C-alpha cells in the first residue's frame, strides 16, 4: 500500500512503517547464520572494524521488507550491561519517518526520554537523519529519515556480495511487534503511545483479559494512522500459576519485545520450508483441528497441511488469518517470532490464545517455570 502524503498529514507523527529491528546479541556472527539458514534472511550489509567501527559489529539482514540488524559489542561498553541483563533481545524498533527532527522534538516535548539527539549520518551512498527516544524497558525507537541515501541499510554499513547461503522462505514485512510490560503497567504504556506518539487504540476483539486455568494476560493494541505500525502491549495478570508474561519479565529482567510478527502470503509453504530449515514451533494439540471449521467457518486452505505444520486459524468480523509461533529463539524463554498470513482479519488471534497457552504452559512446565 502506498501511503499518500495527505494521509500522513492527519497523523500526529509522520511515521510510515517499521524501518528495522535491531537485536543486541552475544555473538552476532552465529546469530546471523541462524537467521539466514533457518529464517531465510539475506546478509546484505556489514559494519565493524573492517569498516572503521572499533567497538561493535553489526550484520544487516533482509527478507522482503523485513530488516533485522544483529549487533554485538567488541568491548565492554553500553551494550554489555544490556546483554547481561536481558540476554539476546530487541534493542531498537526503528521507525521510518519523513521528519526525524519533528518526531524527536514532539515526542520529547510530550514526555519521551531522549536517547540520541537528531543527527545526520552519511557515507558515500548518501545521508540519513536519525534520532532516538526510549520506550518500555531498555527498548528504544530510532526515527529514520532518508535524505538522499541509496545504500544497503544505513550510512556506515558496507554492502556485501550477494548472499548465496540465505534460504528465503517468503517473509514480506513486519505485521506487528508485541511488548511485554510489568504488572499493571499496560495502561501507562498504551497512554505513552497514544499521548506521546499520537497512536490510536487499535480496537479488536482481542481486547480484554485472556486466561486459561493457569495463565492470564491483559493485552491492548495501538497503531499509527496508516496502521502499518501495530504494537500490542501485554501485561501479566493473576492466574493460578505463573503466566508466560510473568516468566518473560523474570527471565528478561524487565519489559521488552515479546514477539515480532512477520507476514507471508503463503504460510503453508513458508512454514514447510522453515521447519525443514530447523525452526522450532510451538506444538498444538491435535484436537485443535478436530473442530476448527466449526469455530472459524470456511477457509481456502485444506486442513491436513495446517494440522501437519501446526498452523493456527482465527477469524474476526473482517475475515480470517493464519498464524504460528516459534519457540523462543534464544535459551532464555523471552523473544519469539510469529509468522502470519492475513485474509481480511485485522486482529491478532485471540481465538488461538487458549490453545497456545496450553502449549506454552507445557513448555513452561518442562522448564520448571510454571
Ligand atoms: Fe502476535
Residues 175 and 299 in one domain: yes
Residues 134 and 179 in one domain: no
C-alpha of residue 338 to centroid of ligand 1, in Å? 6
C-alpha of residue 99 to centroid of ligand 1, in Å? 29
Residue 10 domain-assigned (yes or no): no
Cβ neighbours for 238, distance < 8 A, ≥ 6 positions apart: 216
Cβ neighbours for 133, distance < 8 A, ≥ 6 positions apart: 104, 107, 108, 112, 113, 114, 115, 140, 141, 143
Mean pLDDT in residue range 205-224: 73
Mean pLDDT in residue range 319-338: 97
Residue 36 domain-assigned (yes or no): yes
Residue 280 domain-assigned (yes or no): yes
C-alpha of residue 150 to centroid of ligand 1, in Å? 32
Residue 43 domain-assigned (yes or no): yes
Q: What is the pLDDT of residue 5?
A: 46
Residues 224 and 318 in one domain: yes
Mean pLDDT in residue range 265-275: 98
**Which of 133, 159, 185 is the last residue before a domain boundary?**
159
Q: What is the pLDDT of residue 7?
A: 45
Residues 189 and 317 in one domain: yes
Mean pLDDT in residue range 55-62: 97
Residues 108 and 153 in one domain: yes
Residues 221 and 322 in one domain: yes
Q: How many CB atoms lie within 10 A of CB 127?
A: 14
C-alpha of residue 260 to centroid of ligand 1, in Å? 7
Residues 220 and 311 in one domain: yes
Residue 248 domain-assigned (yes or no): yes
Task: Give the structural domain span for 150.
Answer: 15-159
Cα separation, 185 vs 112, in Å, equals 16
- Looking up residue 140, the CATH number of its domain turns out to be 3.10.180.10
pLDDT for 325 beyond 70: yes
* Strand order, beta sheet including 140-146: 114-123, 126-134, 140-146, 89-97, 15-24, 66-73, 56-63, 42-47, 158-159
Residues 226 and 111 in one domain: no
Q: In sequence order, what DSSP letters do the residues of 223-266 get, joined into one string?
A: E-TTSSSEEEEEEE---SS--HHHHHHHHHTS-EEEEEEEEES-
Residue-wise pLDDT tens digits, 229-268? 999 999 988 877 778 899 999 999 999 999 999 999 999 9
Q: What is the pLDDT of residue 8?
A: 45
Residues 176 and 296 in one domain: yes
Residues 213 and 349 in one domain: yes
C-alpha of residue 238 to centroid of ligand 1, in Å? 21
**Which of 159, 185, 217 is the last residue before a domain boundary?**
159
Residues 192 and 291 in one domain: yes
Alpha helix ranges (H) inside 117-210: 186-191
Residue 1 domain-assigned (yes or no): no
Residues 155 and 176 in one domain: no
C-alpha of residue 78 to centroid of ligand 1, in Å? 30
**Which of 159, 182, 217 is the last residue before a domain boundary?**
159
- Across the chain, mean pLDDT equals 92
C-alpha of residue 127 to centroid of ligand 1, in Å? 34
Q: What is the pLDDT of residue 210?
A: 64
Residue 350 domain-assigned (yes or no): yes
C-alpha of residue 179 to centroid of ligand 1, in Å? 10
Q: What is the pLDDT of residue 278?
A: 97
User: Which of 171, 200, 182 has its CA nearest to residue 38?
Assistant: 171
Residue 6 domain-assigned (yes or no): no
pTM of the predicted structure, to 2 decimals: 0.93
pLDDT for 6 beyond 50: no
Mean pLDDT in residue range 162-179: 96
Mean pLDDT in residue range 273-277: 98
pLDDT for 10 beyond 80: no
3-state SS, residue 155: coil
Mean pLDDT in residue range 42-65: 97
Number of domains in the chain: 2
Residue 368's pLDDT band (cuts 50, 70, 90): confident
Residue-wise pLDDT tens digits, 103-145? 999 999 999 999 999 999 999 999 999 999 999 999 999 999 9
C-alpha of residue 74 to centroid of ligand 1, in Å? 33
Amino acid at each position: 500500500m502506498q501511503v499518500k502524503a495527505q494521509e500522513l498529514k492527519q497523523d500526529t507523527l509522520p511515521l510510515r512503517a517499521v524501518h528495522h529491528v535491531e537485536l543486541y546479541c552475544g555473538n552476532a556472527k552465529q546469530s546471523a547464520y541462524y537467521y539466514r539458514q533457518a529464517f531465510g534472511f539475506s546478509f546484505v550489509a556489514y559494519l565493524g572494524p573492517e569498516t572503521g567501527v572499533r567497538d561493535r559489529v553489526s550484520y544487516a539482514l533482509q527478507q522482503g521488507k523485513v530488516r533485522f540488524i544483529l549487533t554485538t559489542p567488541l568491548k565492554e561498553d553500553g551494550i554489555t550491561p544490556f546483554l547481561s541483563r536481558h540476554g539476546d533481545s530487541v534493542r531498537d524498533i526503528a521507525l521510518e519517518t519523513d521528519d526525524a527532527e519533528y518526531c524527536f522534538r514532539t515526542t520529547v516535548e510530550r514526555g519521551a526520554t531522549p536517547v540520541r539527539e537528531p543527527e545526520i549520518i552519511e557515507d558515500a551512498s548518501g545521508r540519513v537523519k536519525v534520532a532516538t527516544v526510549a520506550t518500555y524497558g531498555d527498548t528504544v525507537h530510532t526515527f529514520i529519515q532518508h535524505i538522499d541515501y541509496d545504500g544497503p541499510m544505513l550510512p556506515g554499513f558496507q554492502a556485501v556480495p550477494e548472499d548465496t547461503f540465505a534460504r528465503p522462505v517468503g517473509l514480506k514485512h513486519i505485521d506487528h511487534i508485541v511488548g511485554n510490560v510489568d504488572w499493571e503497567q499496560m495502561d501507562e504504556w498504551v497512554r505513552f503511545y497514544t499521548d506521546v506518539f499520537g497512536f490510536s487504540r487499535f480496537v479488536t476483539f482481542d481486547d480484554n483479559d485472556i486466561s486459561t486455568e493457569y495463565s492470564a494476560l491483559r493485552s491492548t493494541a495501538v497503531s499509527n494512522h496508516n496502521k502499518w505500525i501495530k504494537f500490542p502491549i501485554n501485561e501479566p495478570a493473576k492466574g493460578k500459576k505463573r503466566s508466560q508474561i510473568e516468566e518473560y519479565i523474570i527471565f528478561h529482567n524487565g519489559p521488552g519485545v515479546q514477539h515480532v510478527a512477520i507476514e507471508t502470503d503463503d504460510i503453508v509453504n513458508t512454514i514447510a520450508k522453515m521447519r525443514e530449515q530447523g525452526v522450532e514451533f510451538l506444538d498444538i494439540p491435535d484436537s485443535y483441528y478436530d473442530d476448527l471449521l466449526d469455530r472459524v467457518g470456511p477457509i481456502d486452505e485444506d486442513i491436513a497441511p495446517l494440522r501437519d505444520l501446526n498452523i493456527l486459524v482465527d477469524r474476526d468480523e473482517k475475515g480470517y488469518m493464519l498464524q504460528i509461533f516459534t519457540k523462543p529463539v534464544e535459551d532464555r524463554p523471552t523473544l519469539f517470532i510469529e509468522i502470519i498470513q492475513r485474509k481480511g482479519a485485522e486482529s491478532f488471534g485471540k481465538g488461538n490464545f487458549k490453545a497456545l497457552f496450553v502449549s506454552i504452559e507445557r513448555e513452561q512446565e518442562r522448564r520448571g517455570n510454571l
